[in-house]
């Protein structure tokens, strides 16, 4: 499993939302909270209820991609999503999560508000390291494959090396 | 960065009144004077206003969740959401 995350601006969030609900991506809505998800603009409109003027990058875009061999169903992916939220302290806020099924490995795209329901802003300092740590902890907890454990097993093109 | 200082003389009664109003708005004295002087159209919320505002926000959040889960409820919930949004807009 790998996790990617970054803070994004409002306009970037609109573009990401339009990307994640594209028809060719064969998406399924996994979960959401606190915002109308019928379109990108309704989500952004509802998220303006929790905003701070000085926070310019007010949204968080996240991708959670478990390994194909884990073979997780929708219920498992939902459990994984909330486990990641708990670990990264990204719960208690508006979010929208979808699964993309157009690739060999179904993965989750998440857009969430950086400001939670109690008006606390999520700290995005060194977020790459936070993602790495979360990925390791959650993989161990749920018994999933952690990307770093597979280092050296693949060539540069994502194909498994033949060990003879 | 706020570099400049402003000194003004006021009576004790004026000072107490200023402090009371700042407390009611949930701001410091400096913030209150700054906001009133520079942005006269600014609205100030009392504690009861804030409670009502939060209740409206929670209600809007719940209706959004219901609407997302149940497509058949859209026609009944959309007018309620519109009214809630209008009420919230009055506070902002």
A49 occurs within a structural domain: yes
A161 occurs within a structural domain: no
Whether B45 has a pLDDT exceeding 80, the answer reads: no
Domain that holds residue A107: 2-150
Q: Average pLDDT, whole number, for chain A?
A: 90
Which residues of A lie closer than 8 Å to B, measured between beta carbons?
A: 29, 32-37, 46, 49, 94, 117
Per-residue pLDDT at B41:
65
Percentage with pLDDT > 70 across chain B? 93
A163 occurs within a structural domain: no
Residues B31 and B64 in one domain: no
The residues, ordered by sequence, that sit 6+ positions from B60 with a Cβ below 8 Å of its Cβ are: A46, A49, B81, B84, B85, B88
Residues B52 and B86 in one domain: yes
Residues B38 and B13 in one domain: yes
Residue of B nearest to A39 (CA): B68
pTM of the model: 0.79
Instruction: Pick A60 or B72 by higher pLDDT.
Output: A60
pLDDT band at A148 (very low <50, low <70, confident <90, very high): confident
Residue A114 near residue A59, CB atoms below 8 Å: yes
Residues B38 and B69 in one domain: no
> What is the domain-level CATH number for residue A65?
3.30.930.30
Which tens digit of pLDDT belongs to each residue from A32-59? 999 999 888 999 989 988 988 889 999 9
A129 occurs within a structural domain: yes
Which tens digit of pLDDT belongs to each residue from A59-90? 999 999 999 888 899 999 999 999 999 999 99
| Residue A68: half-sphere exposure toward Cβ, Cα within 13 Å | 8
Per-residue pLDDT at A121:
94
Q: Can you tell me the distance from the alpha carbon of A21 to that of A14, in angstroms, rounded to the nearest whole number?
A: 11
Whether B42 has a pLDDT exceeding 70, the answer reads: no
Whether B50 has a pLDDT exceeding 60, the answer reads: yes
Mean pLDDT (whole number) for A81-100: 94
Question: Considering its fold, how many domains does chain B have in total?
Answer: 2
Q: Can you tell me the distance from the alpha carbon of A56 to that of B54, in angstroms, rounded to the nearest whole number?
A: 23
A157 occurs within a structural domain: no
Q: Do A46 and B57 touch (CB under 8 A)?
A: no
Under DSSP, the state recorded for B26 is: T
Residues B55 and B36 in one domain: no
Domain that holds residue B11: 1-42
B81 interaction partners in chain A (CB closer than 8 Å): 36
Question: Considering its fold, how many domains does chain A have in total?
Answer: 1
Q: Do A33 and B65 touch (CB under 8 A)?
A: yes
Pairing of strands A59-65, A2-8: antiparallel
Token readout for B65 is: 């969740």
Torsion sign (Cα): B31, B37, B42, B46: positive
Residues B35 and B52 in one domain: no
Q: In what order do the strands lie in the sheet with A107-113?
A: A2-8, A59-65, A107-113, A95-100, A27-33
């Amino acid at each position: 499993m790998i996790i990617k995350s970054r803070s994004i601006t409002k306009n970037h969030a609109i573009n990401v939302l339009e990307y994640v609900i594209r028809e060719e991506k064969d998406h399924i809505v996994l979960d959401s909270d606190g915002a109308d998800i019928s379109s990108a603009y309704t989500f952004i409109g509802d998220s303006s209820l929790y905003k701070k003027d000085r926070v310019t990058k007010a949204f968080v875009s996240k991708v959670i991609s478990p390994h194909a061999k884990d073979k997780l169903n929708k219920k498992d992916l939902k459990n994984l999503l909330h486990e990641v939220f708990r670990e990264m302290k990204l719960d208690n806020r508006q979010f929208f999560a979808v699964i993309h099924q157009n690739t060999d490995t179904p993965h989750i795209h998440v857009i969430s508000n950086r400001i939670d329901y109690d008006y606390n802003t999520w700290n995005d300092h060194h977020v790459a390291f936070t993602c790495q740590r979360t990925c390791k902890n959650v993989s161990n907890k749920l018994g999933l494959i952690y990307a770093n454990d597979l280092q050296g097993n693949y060539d540069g093109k994502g194909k498994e090396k033949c060990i003879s | 960065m706020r570099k400049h200082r402003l000194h003004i003389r006021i009576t004790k009664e004026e000072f107490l009144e200023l402090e009371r109003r700042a407390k009611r708005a949930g701001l410091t004295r400096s913030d209150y004077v700054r906001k009133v002087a520079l942005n006269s159209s600014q609205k100030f919320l009392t504690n009861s206003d804030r409670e009502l505002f939060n209740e409206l926000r929670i209600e809007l959040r719940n209706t959004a969740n219901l609407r997302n889960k149940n497509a058949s409820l859209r026609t009944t919930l959309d007018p309620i959401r519109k009214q809630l949004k209008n009420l919230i807009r009055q506070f902002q």
